[in-house]
Structure formats: structure tokens, C-alpha cells
């Protein structure tokens, strides 16, 4: 999810933190974070690299992901989000943008082969992370770069893409979006059904984050292997917010053997934040509609930048404690079981609007400490940190090889 400062949200939530954002996590938590395999299925570094270059092999304090902090936090497998917007899709630029972002990740690895490696199979994790490398598998956020050409699934597989989020903020040629009022396909398009089958054939994870409920249900039913939600919180906490996963769909993901990966963004884990974000989408749609009407009538249009600035001023981002993320994990474990919950932070994708204590990839020990304080065993914490995702990925890969 690429959530800019324009998606500011209101009302603070008070709660005590098991780990304060400015305190070091206990040694026991830091030790487990370093020893466990931590997998984060959603980091938006590639898009930021395309807009403002930085060398992520050294400290990059204006970012949330870089090598030194990844090592500090114990992060081993960082899925790089190859994100393209609905606007890029409309302008015919999505495929070019996706390839350019993949190029940027490859360049980072080539610049620092001692620090990073591209990961294309869970079987290679132990071998490639030797020496302290952070592994960078690729996930495509929005299937728009496929356009309507099924052969592009293979082409992007060859470039390293290992999951595809079928849609993003608007319907594309594959699927309806959870955000858009328009339901173009009432779920998946005929082409989208072919895309799911081709992803299964190749071993690309089907990602149902961002898509409409109908599209998610159809994708889960069609898939012959597990599916994932790469960065979706539970809708139980945010009623009416379709972007978060419903209990029914979460159970379907788990029944298929998949994993729901919990994000750290305030807009997903705070009920008020989610409500305000939906209100912002509605207000922006009305603003655009009014401007279109004014333009058609030959009248001056209103300033979009002024509208966004006013929204931000009137809806300050709430401070949200790490407890909100821990509550999400607790709920998921109770709902679908310890084997089906993981982490998809959305670092570098939500404009810094993150829960306290989870501000960068250095902060995974804080999450570990919170889970330990809530009574999770180290074995179960290892599952949440990455074991569940690697297990599901392995099953998806094996399913492809079996055909």
C-alpha cells in the first residue's frame, strides 16, 4: 500500500506500551529476533528509489528500510514491493515502471553483493543469507503491468516476481479493488481467472490484499495452492473497511493453507484511522467530480493541492501504540490459528504513519518483546515472524512443480 501524507487521519488512541518506542527491547527479544528467520512481505523501497535515489546498503535515515537497520532488527527476507498506481495503468506506464523498479533492486544487489541477494525460492534462504545478507524477493503490488497479456506472467516470473497483488486502488483488467466504488467485474475478470491459473502453474503466490471481497473469494476458490494476503489487517477492528480482510475470507485463506500478513500502518490497525481514510477517499471522489463538472461548464476548477492540505490540517494523524498491531496478531491467531499469521509491515509505503515502536526495520525486536509479554512461546513467535510464510511459499512452489 502506498499511502501518502494526503491520507492523514484523525483521533488519538490511548494505550500503554509493553515496549516504549524510545527504549531498547529486552535482550531476550533481541536474541530471538536475530536467531529467527524474519520475513516481511511488504516493503515499498523500490518505488521510493525510483522517485528519490538512496543507497540502501548504508544508513538511509530518511527511509524505513536500509541494510544496517535490517540487520539491527534481525530482518532476513524483505519482499520488495514493485508497486504501480492506477494512474500509471491509465497512462500505459505500469509495465515500464515495474521493470524500472526491478532494475533498481537488481542494481542495489549488484552494488552490495555482500549485503543483499535476490531470493526466488524459499529453498535458498539458508544458503543465501549466509554472511549476514538480507534477501530481497520481489512482489508485484497491482497486476496492472500484465495489462491483458497472459505471457507477461511468465515474463515477470523470469524477472523474479514471486507474488502478485491482483489489483490496487482501482479495478484493473484482472480484478476489482476494495477501495473503488465501481465494481467492474463483480470479482475477477475472465482474464483474471486465467492469471490466477497461470500464477499457480508457475509458482507465483496469489495475493488477495487490496482486492474486493468478491475477487478475493473467487481467487481463493480458484487457486489450487495456498494464497496469501501480503499486508492486510483484520476487519474485525475496522468494520466496513473492505481493505482489511473479513473473518470469512481470513478463514478461507487459512483453510487453503495460506497466511494473512499483518501490517503496521496506522490506517489499517486503528478503527478511527480506517474510518477517516474511507471518508477521505469519498471526499476526494466528490472533489474530482465537482471539478469535472466545473471544467465541463467552462468554469474555473478548485485547487487539488489546497484540498489535500486542508484535509491533512483537519485530520491529524493519530498516535497509535504497538498494542494495536499486537491485538491484530492475537485476533488472527485466535481466528485462524498460529500457522496462518505473519508480518507485512508496509514500511516506506505509508508516509511514516506507523504504530509506535514499529517505525523501521530495526524495530522487529519490539514486536518480539510484545509477543513474549503476551505469553507466546518462542516456537510460535518464529512461525509468526516468518516460518508460516516460508511454509506456504514452499507449498505453492511444490504445487507448481507437481504440474
| Pure H helices in 36-145 | 45-51, 67-73, 86-90, 94-111, 125-129
Q: Answer whether 137's CB lies under 8 Å from 119's CB.
A: yes
**What do you get for the CA distance between the two ends of the chain, in Å?**
33
Separation between Cα atoms, residue 113 and residue 107, nearest integer Å: 10
Strand-pair partners of 83: 141
Query: For residue 205, is it left (φ>0), alpha (ψ between -120 and 50) or beta?
Result: beta
Where in the chain are the domains? Answer: 5-271+319-401
Q: Answer whether 386's CB lies under 8 Å from 341's CB.
A: no
Q: Global pTM?
A: 0.92
Residue 287's alpha-carbon distances to 62, 91, 196, 295, 302, in angstroms, are 32, 21, 36, 12, 8
* pLDDT value for 270: 93
Separation between Cα atoms, residue 76 and residue 116, nearest integer Å: 10
Could you report the per-residue pLDDT of 347-379, keeping only the tens digit for each? Answer: 999 999 999 999 999 999 999 999 999 999 999
Fold of the 5-271+319-401 domain: TIM Barrel (3.20.20)
Distance from CA of residue 5 to its chain's centroid?
Answer: 17
Give the number of other CB atoms < 10 A from CB of residue 319.
Answer: 15
* pLDDT value for 300: 85
Separation between Cα atoms, residue 370 and residue 161, nearest integer Å: 32
Q: Is 384 helix (H, G, I), strand (E, B) or coil?
A: helix
CA nearest to 345, candidates 228, 264, 233? 264
* pLDDT value for 7: 34
| Backbone Cα Rg of the chain | 20
CA nearest to 101, candidates 63, 45, 153, 59? 45
C-alpha cell at 363: 524495530
Q: Which stretches of the chain score pLDDT less than 70?
A: 1-23, 403
Separation between Cα atoms, residue 183 and residue 342, nearest integer Å: 29
Residue 42's alpha-carbon distances to 10, 65, 211, 367, in angstroms, are 25, 11, 16, 16
* pLDDT value for 117: 98
CA nearest to 340, candidates 395, 400, 403? 395
CA nearest to 175, candidates 164, 189, 190, 163? 189
* pLDDT value for 362: 98
C-alpha cell at 107: 542494481
User: To which residue does cell 490466477 refer?
Assistant: 196
**For the chain, percent helix, then strand, then coil, each to nearest 5?**
50, 15, 40
Separation between Cα atoms, residue 269 and residue 8, nearest integer Å: 14
Could you report the per-residue pLDDT of 239-253, keeping only the tens digit for each? Answer: 999 999 999 999 999
Amino acid at each position: 500500500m502506498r499511502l501518502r501524507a494526503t491520507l492523514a487521519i484523525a483521533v488519538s488512541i490511548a494505550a500503554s506500551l509493553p515496549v516504549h518506542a524510545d527504549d531498547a527491547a529486552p535482550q531476550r527479544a533481541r536474541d530471538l529476533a536475530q536467531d529467527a528467520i524474519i520475513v516481511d512481505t511488504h516493503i515499498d523501497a523500490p518505488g521510493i528509489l525510483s522517485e528519490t535515489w538512496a543507497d540502501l546498503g548504508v544508513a538511509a535515515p530518511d527511509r524505513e528500510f536500509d541494510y544496517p537497520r535490517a540487520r539491527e532488527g534481525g530482518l532476513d527476507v524483505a519482499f520488495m514491493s514493485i508497486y504501480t498506481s492506477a494512474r500509471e495503468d491509465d497512462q500505459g506506464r505500469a509495465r515500464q515502471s515495474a521493470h524500472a523498479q526491478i532494475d533498481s533492486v537488481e542494481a542495489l544487489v549488484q552494488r552490495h553483493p555482500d549485503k543483499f541477494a535476490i531470493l526466488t525460492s524459499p529453498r535458498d534462504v539458508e544458503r543465501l543469507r549466509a554472511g549476514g545478507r538480507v534477501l530481497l524477493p520481489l512482489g508485484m503490488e497491482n497486476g496492472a503491468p500484465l495489462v491483458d497479456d497472459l505471457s507477461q506472467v511468465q515474463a515477470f516470473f523470469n524477472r523474479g516476481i514471486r507474488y502478485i497483488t491482483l489489483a490496487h486502488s482501482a479495478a484493473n483488467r484482472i480484478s476489482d479493488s476494495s477501495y473503488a466504488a465501481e465494481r467492474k467485474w463483480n470479482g475477477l475478470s475472465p482474464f483474471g481467472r486465467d492469471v490466477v491459473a497461470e500464477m499457480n502453474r508457475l509458482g507465483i503466490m496469489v495475493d488477495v490484499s487490496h482486492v474486493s471481497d468478491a475477487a478475493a473469494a473467487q481467487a481463493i476458490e480458484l487457486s489450487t495452492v495456498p494464497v496469501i494476503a501480503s499486508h492486510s489487517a483484520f476487519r474485525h477492528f475496522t468494520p466496513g473497511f473492505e481493505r482489511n480482510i473479513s473473518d470469512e475470507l481470513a478463514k478461507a485463506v487459512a483453510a487453503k493453507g495460506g497466511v494473512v500478513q499483518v501490517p503496521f500502518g496506522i490506517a489499517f490497525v486503528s478503527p478511527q484511522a480506517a474510518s477517516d481514510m474511507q471518508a477521505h477517499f469519498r471526499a476526494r471522489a466528490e472533489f474530482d467530480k465537482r471539478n469535472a463538472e466545473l471544467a465541463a461548464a467552462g468554469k474555473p476548477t478548485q485547487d487539488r493541492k489546497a484540498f489535500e492540505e486542508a484535509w491533512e490540517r483537519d485530520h491529524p494523524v493519530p498516535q497509535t501504540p504497538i498494542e494495536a498491531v499486537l491485538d491484530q496478531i492475537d485476533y488472527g491467531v485466535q481466528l485462524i490459528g498460529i500457522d496462518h499469521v505473519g508480518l507485512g509491515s508496509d514500511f516506506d509505503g505509508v508516509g511514516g504513519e506507523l504504530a509506535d515502536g514499529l517505525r523501521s526495520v530495526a524495530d522487529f525486536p519490539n514486536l518480539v518483546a510484545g509477543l513474549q509479554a503476551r505469553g507466546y512461546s518462542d516456537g510460535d513467535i518464529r512461525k509468526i515472524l516468518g516460518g508460516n510464510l516460508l511454509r506456504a511459499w514452499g507449498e505453492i512452489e511444490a504445487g507448481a512443480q507437481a504440474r
